[in-house]
Amino acid sequence: MTKLEVFDPPMCCSTGVCGPEVDPVLVRFAADLHWLANQGVHVERHNLAQRPQAFAGNDTVKAALAQEGNQCLPLVLVNDAIACRGRYPSREQLARMAGLEVQPRAGGIHQAAALPVVQSRCCAPRTAGEE
């Protein structure tokens, strides 16, 4: 089984899909990872702000961070080897990394599964007196 790990830059939540201004790239990528997992690929995602131990415990990630700093993030590893750095790959690229084929839909566009946006105050500005 193929193992794909994503090491994200620091974000307020595990996927970055929360708050008042959601980055559409992160929404697409989260849907693509969900699709990949449904294809039988073992997918793990680590956020530097929430799981720094995953970064510290991986020699490949530590070396990339030591050499390039946070510019290498997001970092995608396939079976413990760097497959992509500094950007989120497309579904087609993820599929190739995992040894899968993706059939394009009409017009060459893949329809991503809808994912719920987390309704959280983690990214919202706080007002006086809030904790």
pLDDT exceeds cutoff 90 at 15: no
What is the residue-averaged pLDDT of the chain?
Answer: 82
pLDDT exceeds cutoff 60 at 76: yes
Residues 6+ apart with CB under 8 A from 19: 12, 120, 122, 123, 124
98 in Cβ contact with 90 (< 8 Å): no
SS (H, E, C) the chain: CCEEEEEECCCCCCCCCECCCCCHHHHHHHHHHHHHHHCCCEEEEEECCCCHHHHHCCHHHHHHHHHHHHHHCCEEEECCEEEEECCCCCHHHHHHHCCCCCCCCHHHCCCCCCCCCECCCCCCCCCCCCC
- The string of pLDDT tens digits covering residues 17-53 is 666 677 889 989 999 999 999 999 999 999 999 999 9
Domain ranges of the chain: 3-108
pTM confidence score: 0.76
- CATH for 3-108, options being 3.30.70.920, 3.20.20.70, 3.40.30.10, 3.30.70.1560: 3.40.30.10
